[in-house]
Amino acid sequence: MMLLNPIEVVPAEQVGPVHFIAAGGSGMSGVARLYAALGIKTSGSDRSDSTALRNLERDGVTTYVGHDASQLGDARTVVISSAIRADNVELVEARRRGLRIWHRSAALAALMQGKRGVSIAGTHGKSTTTAMTAVMLSEAGRDPNYVIGAPLSTTGTSSAVGAGEAFIVEADESDASFLQYPTEIAVITNVEADHLINWVTPEAYADGFRAFATRPLVRHVVINVDDAGSRQLADELVGEAKHIIRYGEAEDADVRITDVEAHGNGVAATITYGEDSGRIVLQVPGNHNLANASAAYAVGRVLGLSHQEAVEALGRFEGTLRRFQLITDTAGIRVYDDYAHHPTEIRAALTAARRATAAGNEATGLHGRLIACFQPHLYSRTVDFSDEFGEVMTLADIAVINDVDGAREDPVPGVTGQLVVDAAIRHGAAEVHYVPEKYDLPAALNEIARPGDLVITLGCGDVTIVGPLLADLLKQRPDAAS
């Protein structure tokens, strides 16, 4: 995969018919849905069937399972992601026919033309922050357009066409997609080195965010000053012709969070911006979600929401799929699933899970344990962060490690989940199990878990299948009915 260079795009209405290769992906499906919603003839293919593909069919997209050159039909534009290989038969045919070939980011940028673009970037937290911003504006009656990298838990969809002026997008930095979007409000949740197979060095990665924040159309930069990387960038932006809004718990934050406390299954705090101050109560747990909400709040204020409108609307956010998502509470065992795949994200997820475990123990009088089931994602990331992955696994009472989900990367000799196991042991993890085959994970977790325990599956690959399969096994326990 390579870094992308921004290109000139035409408005979406001029690109059809359009065909999406790998249409069932979390990012691609949301964009394809919007093209169909605009009445543009839209088709898409993917290597295997999925719920996302079936949902696209429901929403008016012609879908195909498997790739075949004939499936391009009368398409004038073909949309790909960075994961599509050059020898994909549909891509080869599109090139032979001289069709317009766009990366997903260009297809999304075309949809954003004429709107107030809000691009939400960062190493972590961008999906949730994008979702919070979209829900906040929706609940406040602003009817935004949006594309999120994860479906909302309330609707099961990740995108919508709205009549409002704002277009909210999750802006991916991994391949420099975030430089493509026509952005008025740039949000940076944090800057911590990742995707070095593309960026090569942490310094180049950080420079990418600076380029994102200083794009010509950007007027406002909303940036987290609790994170070292984004704080450094905020300081570097002083003197730029941008309106900078700093957020966080730091004393110099413009949007400041104080007096944090747990609130049921969520979290509450005081949020202050200028002369406005009051409590914000979220339905999702964790200080990291307060940070995400602070960023969304700042965007809302720039777009004209009052303090009260923003706070009340954010309080109605119920989360996204695969972000600390409860899968089941059966036989006294709670099972959650989370997309976390970088050490910092895993730390945040396990910190929230630890609090939930403690709250459960207090409520039930049991001595439940926190069991973390982690699937490393990408061979390159596993090499870069195996030690950090091992260290963060010590936050769980029991760590269960799966083999690496290589996704778009070819296998690398010697790079397996065993690297994380070895690192966890070096860092003093209390109990570590290596279960290389993902389909063996449900049975292994069922064997380990006992009433009162909290199990959380972690990773952005197909480890998401484990929770529902474990739930089926838990239902077969003698005490499941209770």
In the chain, where are the structural domains located? 12-103, 114-314, 325-475
Class of domain 12-103: alpha beta
What's this model's pTM, rounded to 2 decimal places?
0.79
Binding site annotation covers 123? yes
CA dihedral 65, 70, 71, 76 (to 10 degrees): 160
For position 27, what pLDDT does the model report? 82
User: Residue 124, annotated ligand binder?
Assistant: yes
Phi, psi (5° rounding) for residue 263?
Answer: -140, 95
266 annotated binding-site participant:
no
What are the Cα distances from residue 467, in Å, to 26, 88, 330, 442, 481?
19, 32, 12, 7, 19
Please give the pLDDT value at position 409: 84
- Residue 126 marked as a ligand binder: yes
| Residue numbers in the chain where pLDDT is lower than 50 | none
Q: Is residue 125 marked as binding?
A: yes
Cβ(192)–Cβ(19) under 8 Å? no
Predicted pLDDT of residue 43? 97
140-179: per-residue pLDDT in tens?
999 999 999 888 878 878 899 999 999 999 999 988 999 9
The mean of the pLDDT values for the chain is: 93
Residues of the chain by 3-state class (helix, strand, coil), percent to 5? 40, 25, 40
Q: What is the CA radius of gyration of the chain?
A: 22
Question: Does the annotation place 386 within a ligand binding site?
Answer: no
Measured between alpha carbons, how far is 184 from 279 in angstroms, rounded to an integer? 28
Residue 356, pLDDT score: 87
Q: Please report the pLDDT score of residue 482 as a whole number.
A: 53
**Topology of domain 114-314, per CATH?**
UDP-N-acetylmuramoyl-L-alanine:D-glutamate ligase (3.40.1190)
Q: For residue 316, which of 126, 127, 140 has the smallest C-alpha distance?
A: 140
384-413: pLDDT as tens digits: 999 999 999 999 999 999 999 988 788 999
Instruction: Give pLDDT tens digits for 319-349.
Output: 877 778 889 999 999 999 998 988 988 998 9
Longest dimension (CA), the chain: 67
Cα atoms found within 13 Å of the Cα of residue 265, Cβ hemisphere only: 8
Give residue 248's Cα distance to chain centre. 20
pLDDT attached to residue 481: 64
For residue 122, say whether it is annotated as part of any ligand binding site.
yes
Check if the beta carbon of residue 421 is closer than 8 Å to that of residue 302. Answer: no
CATH code of the region 325-475: 3.90.190.20
